[in-house]
Structure 1
Amino acid sequence: MATRYSSALRSISRSCRATRSHTLAGPSRCLATEAAASTSTPPPPADPKLNKIVDDISGLTLLQAADLVSLLKSRLNIQEIAMPAAAAAAPAAAPAEEVEVEKPKEKTSFNVKLEAFDAAAKAKVIREVKAMVPNLTLIEAKKFVESLPQTLKENVSKEDAEKLKKTFMDLGATVTLE
């Protein structure tokens, strides 16, 4: 694309030089284009084969240029390089928005944990623990309650966990659901 513009500038400057040599007019727009052409990149090598390739490539459409790039990569075994961080940040923002839109999955199983209890309600809490776990003796239930925090039940449904929590809260104990 740049070669197309530089060759156009060269042809304009040549026509301006020719026009200026025939007329004795003062400075014109040709001087501005002439200065721009002289400060641009140096002319490409004089190899006619390279000039023909450059002319052919500059005449391609964007789709054809993309196909050319992919063909050159496959033929020359050129591997993809990582994109710069600034360009990668824009596509990364879209998945982050999608994650925010999705609702987090609601927890279905809970662990009921006995954290603390009132000293006056100790006997009631021990009886409730013994009733909840049938294989416990009264002494084991007492040791269980005295060594807090302890997990009462694991993998309980939400409704059952809420019922257990309400029961123990009514007795004067502190229960958490995990």
Structure 2
Amino acid sequence: MSKNTTEIIEKLKSLTLLEASELVSEIEQTFGVDTSAAVASGPMLTAVAAVQEAVEEQTSFEVIIESVPDDKRVAVLKVIRALTSLGLREAKELTSGLPKTFKDSASKEEADDAKQKLEEAGATIKIK
């Protein structure tokens, strides 16, 4: 990869989502392309498609409890109650008949935090 290309890629990595969106719009106007229908033909369209994909990065996550070993159920229930306002009954219901969604529409930080705490307690977690 050329030095120029490497520099451009590094700059693209540091863009905020708003800046990346503005960049895609500006590239569309400047070069007369429609990136929403772009088929990767040529390096410019490939770069634009990569920027557009970065703009459409997922911002909402679903935390799913896949399984809880019987010997870890109490520890997992404690974590669930600490992370939510659920009572003991609701927390128990959440851990039966798995897999079940623990948290819906969570931010990346919330989802990662919940996953870490629940896995430390013994649960198997999936973020979607």
TM exceeding 0.5: yes
TM-score band, normalised by the shorter chain?
Answer: 0.5 to 0.7
Alignment match, 2:122: 172
Q: Does 1:129 align with 2:80?
A: yes
CA distance in structure 2 between the aligned counterparts of 1:144 and 1:158, rounded to whole angstroms: 21
Q: Deviations over 1:101-130 (max 9, x none)?
A: 312221111011111022211001111112
Aligned pairs for 1:1-178 within 5 A:
95-97=38-40, 100-101=46-47, 102-103=49-50, 104=53, 105-134=56-85, 136-178=86-128
Shift of residue 131 of structure 1? 2.2
| Cα distance in 1, alignment partners of residues 125 and 46 from structure 2 | 31
Query: Structure 1 residue 95: deviation in Å?
Result: 3.2
Question: Secondary structure of 1:113's match?
Answer: strand
Structure 2 residue runs of 5 or longer lacking an equivalent are: 1-36
Deviations 1:42-69 (CA, angstroms, capped at 9, x unpaired): xxxxxxxxxxxxxxxxxxxxxxxxxxxx
Instruction: Normalising by structure 1, report the TM-score.
Output: 0.43
Partner of 2:5: none
Deviation, structure 1 residue 100: 4.0
Amino acid at match of 1:161: A
Which has more radius of gyration?
A: 1
Identity %, equivalent residues: 31
Distance 1:108 1:95 in 2: 24
Q: What is the identity, as a one-letter code, of the residue corresponding to 1:170?
A: E
| 2:113 partner amino acid | K
Separation in 2 of the partners of 1:163 and 1:144? 18
Q: Which structure 1 residue ranges, 5 or more long, are not aligned?
A: 1-93
For 2:40 and 2:94, the matched residues in 1 are separated by 47
- Say how many residue pairs are matched: 84
User: TM-score by structure 2 length?
Assistant: 0.58
SS of structure 1 residue aligned to 2:38: helix
Query: Is the 2:81–2:87 contact (alpha carbons within 8 Å) kept by the matching residues of 1?
Result: yes
Conservation of the 8 A alpha-carbon contact between 2:119 and 2:125: yes
Q: Conserved in 1, the CA contact under 8 Å of 2:67 and 2:124?
A: yes
Distance 2:69 2:61 in 1: 24
Deviation at 1:151, TM superposition (A): 0.8
Deviation at 1:159?
A: 1.4
